[in-house]
């Protein structure tokens, strides 16, 4: 399974394999179809008008596994993602994976347990993040022939780092495979994950886990910075995709690969760096971003209290122009200013209590950062997340500030034309 094989499987065959993969979730008359896209490769298109809020599809994972990344809890069952007692998490058979009693007894873990033990983990006394992370990749071994072919059909961008995850995992075992074919299969699967994976929060027994998952159909959605669908994980295995606004027959169904409230430059840098393309959607071409001014910084010209925004969006290093006094500032200067705002605000997000962060947002930020700037908007979102997740004792005043931040963010989403996007649903508690 070489990297070069990507996209050589005909689109009609991909569509057929997806129907098989959907199984009982495949509707008799789906509202969508898989065809070639003018944006890139294959895409999903509306076969008929789809109403805002309508369910478009539900899909189970082709592959998934714990993200095992920094800041995630490692002691969750590798099969069902249930939280485990730290001292009782490791599989009794010695594969060094975290497994709950139920998954151990049901046999759901047997094959991968056997394979991990065959590879001989070097450390069986603790959960080793790189060994745990390779699980989501290694599961490609156990796919049936049709699903293997579907995996092969998925786009795999060969970026610089696709070997690293496998190499790091190999160091955790005495007997990790070294043959070209197996390594090629793993490298390709890593690249497919890097190109298509959804990282989602899944809640099992009230405990939140971070899951990395591949969905063959959802993975075909091309990117738009103002997407027309929202998605969420129903559980660690299932994704639900819903229309964020009315979608006309023939329109391409799109998701966003970035955070929806990032500025154009931040989105462009992320998409180039991680997904290897330049987005040319309507929002990307409008320096005001539908009048949201998410990029805006203060004008540094004496006496001017206006805001500056990138003059155009054709390059990643545009000059910036003041919308009030028309002064032009070079990109390098504005980039230093944006970095200063980003670092100052992120530093506060990481070190402050909710109370202190609110004070900082309200009293300090207006001195150096326009309220529309995306980094300040991110700080307000952080207050909302923290108050939503850690339902502590917050004062009435804090709750009032949170509600105001939420209204401001809903207003920005409205201006962007984002409809009932995922972020809107999250901050209005429509998605738990």
Ligand X SMILES: C[S@@+](CC[C@H](N)C(=O)[O-])C[C@H]1O[C@@H](n2cnc3c(N)ncnc32)[C@H](O)[C@@H]1O
Chain residues binding ligand X by CB under 6 A are 37, 39-43, 154-155, 157, 195-196, 219-220, 222-223, 275-277, 279
Considering the complex, what minimum distance in angstroms separates the CB of residue 67 from ligand X?
18
Q: Which residue is nearest to ligand X (CB)?
A: 41
Find out whether 268 and 282 touch, Cβ atoms under 8 Å: no
Provide long-range contacts, Cβ within 8 A and 24+ apart, for 3-7: 3/156, 3/158, 3/162, 3/184, 3/187, 3/188, 3/191, 5/152, 5/188, 6/154, 6/155, 6/156, 7/41, 7/42, 7/153, 7/155
Q: Which is nearer to ligand X, 41 or 306 (CB)?
A: 41
Q: Could you give the CA distance from residue 206 to residue 225 in angstroms, rounded to a whole number?
A: 32
Listed in order, strand segments (DSSP E) in 77-228 are 198-204, 207-214, 222-223
Maximum separation of any 2 CA atoms in the chain, in Å: 73
For the record, the structure tokens of 28 come out as 């008799």
Within 10 Å of residue 204's Cβ, how many Cβ atoms? 17
Q: Which is nearer to ligand X, 157 or 327 (CB)?
A: 157
Phi, psi angles (nearest 5°) of residue 20: -65, -45
Q: Which is nearer to ligand X, 44 or 68 (CB)?
A: 44
Between vectors from CA 68 to CA 376 and to CA 191, what angle results, nearest 5°? 90
Residue 66: which of 240, 206, 204, 163 has the closest Cα?
204
Considering the complex, what minimum distance in angstroms separates the CB of residue 413 from ligand X?
20
Q: Which is nearer to ligand X, 155 or 235 (CB)?
A: 155
Considering the complex, what minimum distance in angstroms separates the CB of residue 45 from ligand X?
12
Considering the complex, what minimum distance in angstroms separates the CB of residue 305 from ligand X?
37
Q: Which is nearer to ligand X, 42 or 60 (CB)?
A: 42
Find out whether 289 and 268 touch, Cβ atoms under 8 Å: no
Q: Which is nearer to ligand X, 113 or 151 (CB)?
A: 151
Considering the complex, what minimum distance in angstroms separates the CB of residue 231 from ligand X?
13
For the record, the structure tokens of 216 come out as 């063959």
Considering the complex, what minimum distance in angstroms separates the CB of residue 278 from ligand X?
7
- Give me the residue label for tokens 């809890």: 73
Considering the complex, what minimum distance in angstroms separates the CB of residue 271 from ligand X?
8
Considering the complex, what minimum distance in angstroms separates the CB of residue 212 from ligand X?
14
Q: Which is nearer to ligand X, 10 or 432 (CB)?
A: 10
Q: Order of strands, edge to edge, in the sheet holding 238-243?
A: 55-60, 238-243, 229-235
């Amino acid at each position: 399974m070489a990297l070069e094989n990507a996209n050589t499987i005909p689109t009609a065959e991909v569509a057929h394999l997806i129907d098989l993969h959907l199984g009982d979730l495949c509707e008799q008359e789906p509202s969508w179809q898989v065809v070639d896209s003018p944006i890139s490769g294959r895409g999903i298109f509306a076969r008929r008008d789809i109403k805002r809020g309508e369910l478009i599809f539900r899909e189970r994972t082709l592959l998934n596994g714990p993200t095992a990344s920094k800041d995630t809890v490692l002691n969750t069952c590798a099969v069902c993602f249930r939280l485990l007692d730290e001292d009782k998490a490791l599989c009794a058979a010695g594969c060094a994976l975290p497994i709950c009693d139920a998954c151990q007894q049901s046999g759901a873990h047997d094959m991968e347990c056997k394979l991990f033990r065959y590879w001989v983990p070097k450390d069986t006394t603790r959960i080793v993040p790189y060994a745990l992370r390779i699980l989501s990749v290694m599961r490609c071994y156990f796919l049936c022939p049709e699903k293997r072919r579907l995996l092969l059909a998925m786009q795999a961008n060969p970026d610089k780092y696709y070997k690293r995850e496998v190499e790091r995992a190999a160091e955790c075992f005495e007997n990790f495979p070294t043959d070209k074919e197996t390594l090629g299969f793993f490298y390709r699967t890593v690249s497919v994950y890097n190109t298509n994976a959804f990282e989602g929060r899944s809640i099992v027994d009230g405990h939140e886990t971070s899951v990395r998952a591949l969905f063959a159909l959802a993975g075909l959605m091309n990117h738009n910075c103002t997407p027309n669908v929202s998605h969420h994980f129903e559980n660690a295995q299932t994704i639900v995709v819903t229309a964020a606004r009315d979608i006309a027959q023939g329109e391409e169904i799109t998701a966003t690969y970035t955070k929806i409230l990032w500025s154009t430059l931040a989105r462009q840098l992320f998409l180039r760096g991680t997904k290897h393309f330049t987005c040319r959607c309507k929002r990307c071409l409008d320096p005001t971003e539908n009048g949201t001014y998410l990029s805006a910084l203060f004008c540094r010209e004496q006496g001017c209290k206006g805001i500056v925004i990138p003059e155009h969006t054709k390059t990643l290093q545009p000059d910036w122009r003041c919308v009030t006094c028309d002064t032009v500032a070079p990109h390098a200067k504005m980039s230093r200013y944006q970095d200063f705002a980003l670092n100052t605000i992120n530093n506060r997000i990481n070190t402050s209590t909710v109370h202190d962060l609110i004070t900082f947002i309200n009293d300090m930020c207006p001195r150096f950062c326009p309220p529309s700037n995306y980094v300040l908007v991110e700080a307000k979102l952080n207050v909302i997340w923290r108050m939503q997740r850690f339902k502590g004792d917050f004062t009435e005043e804090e709750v009032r500030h949170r509600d105001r931040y939420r209204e401001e963010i809903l207003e920005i989403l409205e201006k962007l034309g984002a409809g009932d996007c995922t972020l809107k649903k999250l901050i209005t508690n429509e998605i738990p």
